[in-house]
Structure 1
Amino acid sequence: MASTSTGSSGAYDTDLIVIGGGPAGCAAARMAASVGMRSVLVEPDALCRNLYRIPALNNVLGGYTSGPELADAITAELKATDLCRLELGRSATALRAEHDQVTVTLDTGTRLSAPYAIVATGVGPLQPRDVPWITAPPDLTLPPLWKAEAADAEGRTLLVLGGDRPIGTFLRAHPTTETGLLVAYPPGDDYKIDEIREDPRVTLLAVEHVTLHPPQGPTTMAEAVDRSGERHSVMADAAFLSIGNAPTTPPGDLARDTTGYCPPAAQHPRVVIAGDLRSARYQRVMTALGSGSEAALHAYYAARDLHTPERQEG
């Protein structure tokens, strides 16, 4: 698919390269098509793969109540978009931004060029070893809470490390499941636990530090130090994570902050950041969809030397 756009280096391969096929990347490709821009969307997995893991939604428009329902709708619409070419099962191994174009190299060795690229690769789950407030055996890997099923929780007490939003999603998805969630969360998560505070199945433990012991059969044991310095022995039937995510970015010309996120205002003018990769503070489905659409319009206006509307930076 060759674009009619040209730069000083000759014809581009397409008008826009979108790296990442989650809600933000899909929205970017769809918006680009709506204004006549051709795009290539690069995604190493399935479109909207993480949406399929969200059993209940409460913050999106359109009447969608589950992640799979919304993911199916987004995927069907994008696959029917003639101006978007999907490169599924492919990863971006390099991104180079120059004064007149962006070049993206795929794991197949193929190189794509375009006037602009949108990077919407999102985030991946952290493990206990990745955060300073948890001490754990170096080889210990725990599942994120969004992987838990009702059978994992029914009649059991689960230790949940961290206060991120998957806790509320889990509770809404399993409203009749009789379980106890002991949520140990650090000071940085104080603002996140408001939506679960009143659920009778939740016990909140505000901590400074948690030490996880090696697994003792089916039982999880830990020592927690609360904000006053008092120590608590914790015992649960299983442990799950809700400690947040780490940015996943392709190698290349991206400006990253100390946490690995990519502030939109710090990027090369040819590179636009969308979705969860912008900041840990705005990781919602609706904000991802909106930022992807806005990123495509930003590229559209910039490519035509039109006035670019002010963009809210996450």
Structure 2
Amino acid sequence: MVDEALSRRREVKPVILAVDDEAGVLGAVERDLRRHYRDYRVLGAGSGAEALEALRRLKQRGVPVVLFLVDQRMPQMTGTEFLAQAMALYPEARKVLLTAYADTEAAITSINRIGLDYYLMKPWDPPEQHLYPVLDDLLEDWAASVQLPYEGIRVLGTLWSAPSHQVRDFLARNRIPYRWLDLERDAEAARLLSTLGSERPKLPVLWFPDGSSLEAPSPRALAEKVGMKTQASQPFYDLIIVGGGPAGLGAAVYASSEGLRTLIVEKDALGGQAGTSSRIENYLGFPKGLSGTDLARRAEAQARRFGTEILTPREVCRVRAQDPYRIVELEDGSELTCHAVLIATGATAQRLAAPGVEELTGVGVYYGAAVTEAALYRRQEVFVVGGANSAGQGAMFLAGYARKVTMLVRAESLEKGMSQYLVDQIRAQSNIEVRTRTVVGEVQGEGRLEALTLRNLETGHSETLPAAALFLFIGAVPHTRMVSGLVEMNSAGFILTGTDLVREGKRPGGWTLQRDPFLLETSVPGIFAAGDVRQGAVRRVASAVGEGAITVGLVHQYLKTV
């Protein structure tokens, strides 16, 4: 009976609801939708009131609604007015207006008022060009973000456990859905734990849909269990990209689309530091902004579509040159060979040197991770350290959950290191307090963070305040260990490229080619660097993506000489 019930539940299709008072138009919309979206149930309604009644019945039955496609000009209730009410029932559903040219202003107003996702001009023929691409993108977004009826991985652990945090963070950053069960709060967790038959299982424990479980798994063991690719399919590639942040993903899309056999090796999760951002609002082409997770998901799908192979979580320990090839050595000693390598490893989070930080990391103290942990600190007081965009984005995201967010900024103002749009948002947010010229002197707690000692750099005054969580966005150091001793770097460890390698007209030592290094080429021909790992890089997502794309053109030029 249980299996039967689960089977019936899986057969429930998410609903696409079309609303238009003109019967002919509504029929045409339903016809086009049913022809293309067979995995969804398409419903139609001739008015806003009829549609709302249908939504109430669907809600009572627990049927998910994925998208509204609504005419703006309807009597009694406009499309915008309907969507405003429908959001109360299905806030996650995507919202699209059908408009005439005269309704453009109403559509713009809807974007600001109700978060309209898109508006389409009538007529939309041919749907293959004007309708389906837009809806495909919105449906993919919905599927990636909505909380569906649960049938997946369950993670059992304790909130104040660094290993539990690490597993949750790994799953979240790799966009693997899971259900969290707190052993200290959930009766179901205790019952599940007792089924293992072990008196002291290692936490966290993960249960999978096939009935199997893992105790405190390593990232690689977990990745293999959930079906992530951890082994390369071939020994040789045209281009191996070390690092799957915006620069690496940008390079992969262009390289694969241009026919290069391309492999990305990423040690944590695709998206890099940008992937942990709760909201990127100044990225071209996304007027409503997008999260780092969304950006990584879209870029990954695009790269895979063109044939990029992705290994994660795998770490590159060493890169070496063996002309005319470049060798990449992985953490298990295995090696991959290629024509060219791109180092796009970005930077590793800078550690906060204050007493108590190391002991409480993962149990109240987090490097980034605002997206992963924010919901755990509802109606509590949390602190954010940092004055750059990542700190501002984290503070804004946390403000949607916490009672109060206090930003601790070393500089004398936010404007010193943050985009103005973020500064304005933070100042308008009533539950964010900004303390400038303030640093963390010490963190305190037994088994979890309980308090912070703050020090004012101008007055020297210190005070201790209770704290539920501390999120650190304090900059980063370049992750370049795999090319240490191979390519030239500056004193801080950032890789030198292009013109920075030519001093007084002389090329770098050991350079054998009769040309200067290309713009993003290192001191070793065929090894390139892009993004935050490179000296002189502009630390913006768009810049990293652009550098990744530029690198591919330079790789083509290099390959002509191999």
Question: Aligning the two structures, in what range does the TM-score lie when normalised by the shorter sequence?
Answer: 0.7 to 0.9
Shift of residue 91, structure 1, vs aligned partner:
2.2
Q: Please report how far the alpha carbon of residue 13 of structure 1 lies from its aligned counterpart in structure 2 after TM superposition.
A: 2.7
The yes-or-no answer on 1:157 pairing with 2:381 is yes
Other-structure match for 1:277: 533
Q: Hey, what's the Cα distance between the residues in 1 that align with 2:476 and 2:343? A: 17
The match for 2:489 is: 256
User: Is 1:139 the equivalent of 2:373?
Assistant: no
Aligned partners of 1:32 and 1:300 also within 8 Å: no
In the TM superposition, what are the counterparts of 1:232-247 in structure 2 within 5 Å? 232-238=462-468, 239-247=470-478
Candidates 295, 303, 306, aligned match of 2:551 = 295
Q: Secondary structure at the match of 1:295?
A: helix
2:278 matches 1:55: yes
Pick from 334, 346, 350 the counterpart of residue 126 of structure 1.
Answer: 350
Distance 1:62 1:102 in 2: 36
Could you tell me which amino acid in structure 1 is paired with residue 463 of structure 2?
S
- Residue equivalent to 1:311: none
Question: In the aligned structure 2, how far is the partner of 1:210 from the partner of 1:175?
Answer: 20
1:274, 1:189 → 2: CA distance? 30
Does structure 1 retain, via aligned residues, the 8 Å contact 2:370–2:398?
A: no
- Structure 2 letter corresponding to 1:254: V
Give 1 or 2: higher helix fraction. Answer: 2
Secondary structure at 1:127's aligned position in 2? coil
3-state SS, counterpart of residue 309 of structure 2? strand
Q: Is 1:170 aligned to 2:394, yes or no? A: yes
Query: What SS does the corresponding residue of 1:18 show, helix, strand or coil?
Result: strand
Conserved 8 A contact 1:118-1:273: yes
Helix, strand or coil for the counterpart of 2:434? Answer: strand
Partner SS for 1:78: helix
Partners of 2:412 and 2:325 in 1: CA distance: 39
Report the Cα offset of residue 168 of structure 1.
2.1
Structure 2 matches for 1:195-206, cutoff 5 A? 195-196=422-423, 198-199=427-428, 200-206=430-436
Q: Given the superposition, is the C-alpha separation of residues 255 and 20 from structure 1 closer, same or farther in structure 2, using an over 3 Å criterion?
A: same
Where does structure 1 lack aligned partners over 5 or more consecutive residues? 4-11, 306-314
**Structure 1 residues 279 and 234 mapped into 2: Cα distance closer, same or farther (>3 Å)?**
farther
Deviates more, 1:236-245 or 1:98-107: 98-107
Question: Corresponding residue for 2:241?
Answer: 18
Q: Which residue is equivalent to 2:455?
A: 224
Asked whether the 8 Å contact 1:24–1:120 carries over to 2, the reply is: yes
Aligned partner of 1:294: which letter?
I
CA distance in 1, matches of 2:265, 2:369: 25
Report whether the alignment pairs 1:31 with 2:260: no
CA root-mean-square deviation: 3.4
What's the counterpart of residue 292 of structure 2? 67
Q: 1:137 offset after TM fit, Å?
A: 5.8
Return closer, same or farther for 1:303/1:42 CA change in 2, 3 Å cut-off.
same
How far is 1:152 from its partner? 4.8
State the Cα distance separating 1:38 from its structure 2 match: 2.1
Query: 1:5-63: CA deviations, max 9, x gaps?
Result: xxxxxxx9332221112221121122112333222222234433655533322122333
Unaligned 5+ segments in structure 2 are 1-231, 502-521
Shift of 1:117: 0.9
Q: Note if contact 1:128-1:135 (Cα within 8 Å) is conserved in structure 2.
A: no
Percent of aligned positions that are identical: 23
SS in structure 2 of the partner of residue 293 of structure 1: helix
* C-alpha deviation, 1:121, in angstroms: 1.3
**Conserved? CA contact 1:16–1:117, under 8 Å:** yes
CA distances 1:159-192 after superposition (whole Å, capped 9, x unpaired) = 3222232232134435655643322222498622
Tell me which amino acid in the other structure corresponds to 2:306.
Answer: T
TM-score by length of 1: 0.77
* CA deviation string 1:182-205 (max 9, x = no partner): 222224986224533624433333
How much does 1:272 deviate?
Answer: 0.8
Distance 2:529 2:442 in 1: 36
Check the 8 A contact 2:395/2:432 in 1, yes or no: no
Which whole-Å deviations, capped at 9, do the CAs of 1:70-120 have from their partners, x for residues lacking one? Answer: 2221111211223x3333343222111355332212234333333321011
- Using the alignment, how far apart are the partners of 1:144 and 1:256 within structure 2? 26
SS at match of 2:444: coil
Are residues 206 and 98 of structure 1, via their aligned partners in 2, closer, same or farther at CA, if it must alter by over 3 Å? farther
In the alignment of these two chains, the number of paired residues is: 292
Q: AA paired with 2:239?
A: L
SS at match of 1:56: coil
From the CA coordinates, give the structure whose radius of gyration is larger.
2
Query: Would the alpha carbon gap of residues 159 and 236 (structure 1) be closer, same or farther in structure 2, given more than 3 Å must change?
Result: farther
* Letter of the 1:71 counterpart: A
Amino acid at match of 1:219: E
Change (3 A) 1:33 1:223: closer
Q: Distance in 2 between matches of 1:128 and 1:32?
A: 38
Q: Following the alignment from structure 2 to structure 1, what is the Cα–Cα distance between the partners of residues 318 and 349?
A: 23
The 3 A distance-change label for structure 1 pair 221 and 35 is closer
Distance 1:208 1:231 in 2: 10
Report the secondary structure of 1:222's partner residue.
Answer: strand
Q: Which SS does the other structure have where 1:198 is aligned?
A: helix
User: Structure 1 CA distance, aligned partners of 2:532 and 2:379?
Assistant: 34
Q: Given the superposition, is the C-alpha separation of residues 140 and 189 from structure 1 closer, same or farther in structure 2, using an over 3 Å criterion? A: farther
